[in-house]
Amino acid sequence: MINKLIKEITQKNAPIVVGLDPMLNYIPEHVQKKAYSEFGETLEGAAEAIWQYNKAIVDATYDLIPSVKPQIAMYEQFGIEGLKVFKRTVDYCKEKGLVVIGDIKRGDIGTTSAAYATGHLGKVTVGTKQYSLFDEDFVTVNPYLGTDGIKPFIDVCKEEKKGLFILVKTSNKSSGEFQDKLIDGRPLYEIVGEHVAKWGEEHMGDKYSYIGAVVGATYPEMGKVLRKIMPKSFILVPGYGAQGGKAEDLKPYFNEDGLGAIVNSSRGIIAAYKQEKYANFGEANFADASRQAVIDMIEDINGALGH
Amino acid sequence: MINKLIKEITQKNAPIVVGLDPMLNYIPEHVQKKAYSEFGETLEGAAEAIWQYNKAIVDATYDLIPSVKPQIAMYEQFGIEGLKVFKRTVDYCKEKGLVVIGDIKRGDIGTTSAAYATGHLGKVTVGTKQYSLFDEDFVTVNPYLGTDGIKPFIDVCKEEKKGLFILVKTSNKSSGEFQDKLIDGRPLYEIVGEHVAKWGEEHMGDKYSYIGAVVGATYPEMGKVLRKIMPKSFILVPGYGAQGGKAEDLKPYFNEDGLGAIVNSSRGIIAAYKQEKYANFGEANFADASRQAVIDMIEDINGALGH
């Protein structure tokens, strides 16, 4: 999957990922109304609105982008009905040839981590049968519990040729509370980064490891250091756009081969029609606004990188 | 909910929680066979087997215990069908008067954490309607992303009078890789513990905070320090029994009022019938074996505590 991700990034010349994080208040009123008229103001109605919204955005952008990153929390907040749409979205994006990064930030230990890995990347055995479940290509994972928590995920990744992005330095303001604490003069995120590099050696693709890292766009100085600590790890970079990260800040996240990072934008793409810049598309053409926002994002990033 | 938890613990004289973490290989063959004969070797079949297993154990133990802790990963590994049984289990346990701790170890930032909080503790708004989703009483949360990640959970907890157990020092062997790292001479878990105490002040019950901590039974010396750092936080203690924690190790997790901790056992209770000690019950009477294991656990812990 890391090889496929790199191939898609290279062919489309677009080191980006679109975050499919639907909030009901992002979804144009006509989409919501239609869904509620069919299913009522119910969880099924909300799920249908999210599905129609996602599908329109994917249909309008899939030829330009290598990857999507659905944030499972936005689906889980609608319970079972929401999780059904999460699954439907994953399946649809895979049909469209996209690499799907499930932003699930799970993390536990032993058989429990193994169970998460099974549910999201692997297959579960029932009697003599095996079943795929959510079946993303990559998932994000939290490292706080250490190697015991990560290894069961890597084991399933090896079996399925899938991958992980492990939280190292997150994009939010308070991420420093624990992640920046100095240990023998070095911040915790560097120690975690070293572990990611080590874990990554266990599961290498052609040029990069299947085991990547999450490093926020909002901390480019730290991105520079982490790039060196984890030379073979792809970095998933949240925080571009809406969260304040700028294209010129992204350079340190890439290697000299022009690869090594994939930049996420969620709201900036999926709710583009709400921005003044794209207001001319009108709410009815929200998906076209998203397509234009993708084109602009690719140009912005490639410009800054000199690609 | 923290007041209810304390009331139940006191009335039943049982500072314990039963971890409902069903693995298919824990479930007696006759239960699995019956489920497969009805639903086939399908995800529905697995879900039915898990449900019958959980129900039998809850029916056999609910009058003795204050609380259960279903581990969502064990359900999520069966996808949507598994999550339906998770929800069914939560609802059933609440009907039986039990306090339900959803062991979900979620953690993200801002609106994403808020979405998890909504899905597990709160209500989602669809048009003019509101819906409860998984609706646990407490959930476990991962602190790696800092205050930005925790606050949205606390906001929902305040509204719903529900609570959290935040990972501080986990019970696994490699938990020290990051959690024990020294920062100005003090381990990270102490810094996290201080934050839990501070966060807890924002949402107090009568005697204890709604915001508790997870500290593994396998590290009693650390438990002793953390008890002092977080005097008003309830401590959820995993690692007793199967993971190696002993009753005499549990004393430091309790305050002088005899309260302040709740000890979890999962496999040791739900798969008790597989232990030599309870083999005389026979596989057919697995739930009776679980009841006996609960009685023995309470006696073991109260003995060590001098309750």
In sequence order, what are the residues at sequence separation of 6 or more whose Cβ sits closer than 8 angstroms to the Cβ of residue A30?
A283, A284
Buried/exposed code over B164-178 (b: 16+ C-beta within 10 A; e: otherwise): bbbbbbbbbebbbbb
Q: What angle do CA A252, A255, A257 make, to 5 degrees?
A: 140
Determine, for residues A188 and B191 on separate chains, whether the beta-carbon distance falls below 8 Å: no
Task: Name the minimum distance, in Å, from the CA of A306 to any CA of chain B.
Answer: 32
CB atoms within 10 A of CB A159: 12
> Does residue A257 sit at the B interface (CB-CB below 8 Å)?
no
Compute the count of residue pairs across chains A and B with CB atoms less than 8 Å apart. Answer: 216
pLDDT on residue B117: 98
> Does residue B37 sit at the A interface (CB-CB below 8 Å)?
no
Query: Which residues from B are below 8 Å from A83, CB to CB?
Result: 80, 83
What are the structural domains, with CATH classification, of chain A? 2-302 (3.20.20.70)
Q: Looking at A12, A105, A161, A246, which residue is catalytic?
A: A105
Per the DSSP assignment, residues forming a β-bridge with A163 are A138
Using CB atoms, which residue from B124, B129, B174 is nearest to A148? Answer: B174
**What is the SS3 assignment for A32?**
helix
Alpha helix locations (H) across B202-285? Answer: 220-229, 267-270
Contact A85, B124 (CB under 8 A): no
Q: Determine if residue A120 is left, alpha or beta; phi over 0 gives left, psi from -120 to 50 gives alpha, anything else beta.
A: alpha
Distances from the Cα of B200 to the Cα of A23, A101, B103, angstroms: 29, 34, 19
> Does residue A165 sit at the B interface (CB-CB below 8 Å)?
no
The alpha carbon of B244 is separated from its chain's Cα centroid by a whole number of angstroms, namely: 18
> Does residue B148 sit at the A interface (CB-CB below 8 Å)?
yes
Using CB atoms, which residue from B105, B127, B178 is nearest to A36? Answer: B127
Q: Looking at B96, B105, B161, B251, which residue is catalytic?
A: B105
Using CB atoms, which residue from A24, A142, A177 is nearest to B146? Answer: A177
> Does residue B91 sit at the A interface (CB-CB below 8 Å)?
no
pLDDT by residue for chain A (307 residues), tens only, comes to: 899 999 999 999 999 999 999 999 999 999 999 999 999 999 999 999 999 999 999 999 999 999 999 999 999 999 999 999 999 999 999 999 999 999 999 999 999 999 999 999 999 999 999 999 999 999 999 999 999 999 999 999 999 999 999 999 999 999 999 999 999 999 999 999 999 999 999 999 999 999 999 999 999 999 999 999 999 999 999 989 877 778 999 999 999 999 999 999 999 999 999 999 999 999 999 999 999 999 999 999 999 998 7
pLDDT on residue A1: 87
Query: Which residues from B are below 8 Å from A133, CB to CB?
Result: 76-79, 82
Across chain B, which has 307 residues, the per-10-residue mean pLDDT values are 96 98 97 98 98 98 98 98 98 98 97 98 98 98 96 98 97 94 95 98 97 96 97 96 84 95 97 97 98 97 91
- CA torsion through residues B82, A82, A175, B193, sign: negative
Q: What is the C-alpha to C-alpha distance for residues A172 and A46, in angstroms, rounded to an integer?
A: 28
Query: Which residues from B are below 8 Å from A106, CB to CB?
Result: 73, 105
Q: Say how many residues make up chain A.
A: 307
In angstroms, how far is the first alpha carbon of chain A from the final one? 23
pLDDT on residue B306: 87
Contact B265, B19 (CB under 8 A): yes
Nearest residue in B to A50, CA atom: B126
CB atoms within 10 A of CB A201: 11
Distances from the Cα of B294 to the Cα of A195, B133, B237, B246, B274, angstroms: 40, 30, 16, 15, 15
Task: Name the minimum distance, in Å, from the CA of A123 to any CA of chain B.
Answer: 8
Q: What is the C-alpha to C-alpha distance for residues B235 and B216, in angstroms, rounded to an integer?
A: 9
pLDDT on residue A10: 97
Using CB atoms, which residue from B77, B131, B175 is nearest to A124? Answer: B77
- Scan residues 116-135 of B and list those with Cβ closer than 8 Å to A: 116, 118-120, 124-129, 131, 133-134
> Does residue A59 sit at the B interface (CB-CB below 8 Å)?
no
Q: Which tokens belong to A77?
A: 């907040």
Per the DSSP assignment, residues forming a β-bridge with A264 are A17
Task: Name the minimum distance, in Å, from the CA of B113 to any CA of chain A.
Answer: 7
Determine, for residues B170 and A109 on separate chains, whether the beta-carbon distance falls below 8 Å: yes
Q: Which of B121, B130, B145 to mutate to test the interface with A (most CBs of A within 10 A)?
A: B145
Task: Name the minimum distance, in Å, from the CA of B66 to any CA of chain A.
Answer: 24
Using CB atoms, which residue from B36, B119, B174 is nearest to A76? Answer: B119
Query: Which residues from B are below 8 Å from A115, CB to CB?
Result: 71, 73-74, 76-77
Distances from the Cα of A169 to the Cα of A209, A215, B108, B176, angstroms: 19, 5, 12, 19
Q: What angle do CA A149, B108, B16 make, to 5 degrees?
A: 60
For residue B34, the one-letter residue type is: K
Q: Model's pTM, two decimal places? A: 0.97
Q: Is B96 a catalytic residue?
A: no
Q: What is the C-alpha to C-alpha distance for residues B74 and A233, in angstroms, rounded to an integer?
A: 30
Buried/exposed code over A231-259 (b: 16+ C-beta within 10 A; e: otherwise): ebbbbbbbbbbebebebebbbbbbbeeeb
For residue A14, the one-letter residue type is: A
Contact A61, A18 (CB under 8 A): yes
SS (H, E, C) B184-237: CCEEHHHHHHHHHHHHHHCCECCCCECEEEEECCCCHHHHHHHHHHCCCCCEEE
